[in-house]
Structure 1
Amino acid sequence: MSPTLNPALKPELAPIARSLAAGGQNLKVSFEFFPPKTEEMETTLWESIRRLAPLNPDFVSVTYGAGGSTRERTHRTVKRMLDQTELKPAAHLTCVDASRDEVDEVIRGYWDAGVRHIVALRGDPPSGFGDYVPRADGYQNATELTAAIRRIGDFEVSVGVYPEKHPQSPSLAFDLDVLRQKVDSGATRGISQFFFEPATFLRFRDAVADAGIQIDLTPGIMPVTNFKGLRRMAAACDAQIPAWLAALFDGLDDDAETRKLLASAVAVELCLGLEREGVENFHFYTLNRADLVFAICRILGITVAAQ
């Protein structure tokens, strides 16, 4: 005789099943790409864009290299998105190694091309390393850059936030003051640096709310496939790599397939943990690869838009 389920028990859907049952109805996703350096990378980028576009992202952002080194390639990629897709591109822009007039010209160029969303960042030094030294005739920081963007056009302006504190900031309180200045200058969204535990972002979200700063915050999600590369990126921005994550990837340098499986599991668990706490927007750092991000979005209940 088959055992019967105790009627007093009310099993709850597992997180993934619950997410799929809800159909991702309240979630919004966005994707970050970087402009390609070679013809082969160009092909990979556009294959990824075509793969992810049917998920109907809220926007897609295109990065801007250290010292403005990818300025033309960023503009070209954004223009092609506008011309050949239905996507809403958000162009990254920095104030490094450029005069105010030069930056203003780029902003006007984006407006004339049809771009209505800019990600305003201070940016890295031309070498990508070392101390940031603003030009005397340039915008000094992302706050000044945000004000310039809003002065030139009615853009949506996203800015970067660091849940674990900016690596060059003396304190989280200082970061919050800077964020307040960005909001006062017209910033409308904060996109976070990557992190790996829900509590990291949630503590920052609470700190922003407690400080009375009103801005939409979107967590940045980095699916991990190359752990050595992740260590380098984390060191550059002082992002903490939990011991459990390091242990998970230990000994897998030559096992790319297993790393992919683990990467998707870690990212899904992170997103579902955030979703349980009311987070509804996720920004994925794709590294111009679509497979993992597409799978993660499907597990979150985000389906391909009807054609």
Structure 2
Amino acid sequence: MTAPAISFEFFPPRNLEASFRLWDTVQALAPLAPRFVSVTYGAGGTTRDLTRDAVATIHKHSGLNVAAHLTCVDATRDETLGIANGFADAGVTDIVALRGDPPKDAAGFVPHADGFASSVDLIEALSATGRFNIRVGAYPEKHPEAADSRADIDWLKRKLDAGATEALTQFFFEADTFLRFRDACQKAGIDAPITPGILPIENWKGASKFARACGTHVPDWMEDAFEKAERDDRSDLLATAICTELCSDLIEEGVDALHFYTLNRPELTRDVCHALGVTPKVSLENVA
């Protein structure tokens, strides 16, 4: 089995302790030579400044290729493009362009009066600058706000036609979920790379709750397996085995790149990567 190309997602820290955890995560995973790492935006744009600071720090001190998340939420077009151009001026030209989640107390997404109405509008504007490599989100299971799965594929095609070059999927728990989605995208004429998003399960209760909120199917067999594993204090072992098997099944079906949602906890992600044959290639030196 050929080792896949890998990438990692981090989220920006909100306090000093979280800052140390983020940097420990970067140091633990950087030797695996990811093709890029991404830094998320909080719901409602709540971590905008934190994201910018985390992107700048990782870019400056790690030597990794950093992709900054950018959303349409609660900002004018000028403000959003100003943030993007600030990234580019600092040498960060990879963007993960998303509509973004509304603030937690909002009923749904409402565009800013002077902002971008959708992710497609944002992608078109970013593409027009000629400064960015743009990635977007994709949903192998129906997005909670989509009419049906076909609507998700149509929307993905619009985003790619607007100037994006790659899609990163929402996480899922069974390989067939992604493979069916990939086949449907190919039938729709989508030929851009679609990279599966992988969630190593650090905490089953939290992961399953989050999955249901995202519209991700939670298999009954996983519920049963983690219930038994928690009783026997072997949840990490089970999580590593399940995630490794999922990735191996995808690789056997021709998937050559994986995007890991690390939750700023590197151990399971690193163990899975090692099991897949992704071994350390570089080391971080002279970091601040």
Same fold (TM over 0.5): yes
Deviation track 1:270-307 (CA, whole Å, cap 9, x = no partner) reads 00000010001000000001111111101100111156
Q: Distance in 1 between matches of 2:10 and 2:282?
A: 24
Q: 2:40 aligns with which of 63, 73, 76?
A: 63
Tell me by how many angstroms 1:154 deviates: 2.7
Q: 2:200 aligns with which of 210, 219, 223?
A: 223
SS of the equivalent of 2:73 reads coil
Where in structure 2 are the equivalents of 1:283-302 lying within 5 Å?
A: 283-302=259-278
Give the letter aligned to residue 200 of structure 1.
T
TM-score by length of 2: 0.95
Aligned to 1:108: 85
SS of the equivalent of 1:192 reads strand
CA contact (8 A) 1:116 1:155 kept: yes
Aligned to 1:50: 27
Q: Distance in 2 between matches of 1:248 and 1:32?
A: 26
Q: 1:158 aligns with which of 119, 126, 135?
A: 135
- Residue 262 to residue 129, structure 1, CA distance change in 2 (3 Å): farther
Aligned to 2:286: none
Q: Gaps spanning 5+ residues in structure 2: where?
A: 284-288
Quick check: 1:280 aligned with 2:256? Answer: yes
SS of the equivalent of 2:234 reads helix
Tell me by how many angstroms 1:136 deviates: 2.2
Deviation track 1:191-232 (CA, whole Å, cap 9, x = no partner) reads 000001110000000000001112100000001121111122
Q: Distance in 2 between matches of 1:271 and 1:129?
A: 36
- Residue 248 to residue 128, structure 1, CA distance change in 2 (3 Å): farther
Quick check: 1:126 aligned with 2:117? Answer: no
Aligned to 1:214: 191
CA contact (8 A) 2:133 2:164 kept: yes
Tell me by how many angstroms 1:251 deviates: 4.9
SS of the equivalent of 1:96 reads coil
Q: 2:72 aligns with which of 70, 92, 95?
A: 95
- Residue 40 to residue 238, structure 1, CA distance change in 2 (3 Å): same
Aligned to 1:241: 218
Q: Distance in 1 between matches of 2:52 and 2:33?
A: 22
- Residue 211 to residue 83, structure 1, CA distance change in 2 (3 Å): same
Aligned to 1:173: 150
Tell me by how many angstroms 1:254 deviates: 6.8
CA contact (8 A) 1:66 1:128 kept: no
Q: Distance in 2 between matches of 1:122 and 1:64?
A: 11
Aligned to 1:260: 236
Aligned to 2:164: 187
Quick check: 1:140 aligned with 2:117? Answer: yes
Q: Highest CA radius of gyration, 1 or 2?
A: 1
Aligned to 2:281: 305
Kindly report the root-mean-square deviation, in angstroms, between the aligned alpha carbons of the 2 structures.
1.4
Quick check: 1:76 aligned with 2:69? Answer: no
CA contact (8 A) 1:67 1:128 kept: no
Give the letter aligned to residue 136 of structure 2.
V
Tell me by how many angstroms 1:127 deviates: 1.5
CA contact (8 A) 1:165 1:172 kept: yes
SS of the equivalent of 1:183 reads helix
Tell me by how many angstroms 1:116 deviates: 1.2
Tell me by how many angstroms 1:152 deviates: 2.3
TM-score by length of 1: 0.89
Q: Distance in 2 between matches of 1:306 and 1:46?
A: 16
Tell me by how many angstroms 1:130 deviates: 3.0
Aligned to 1:13: none
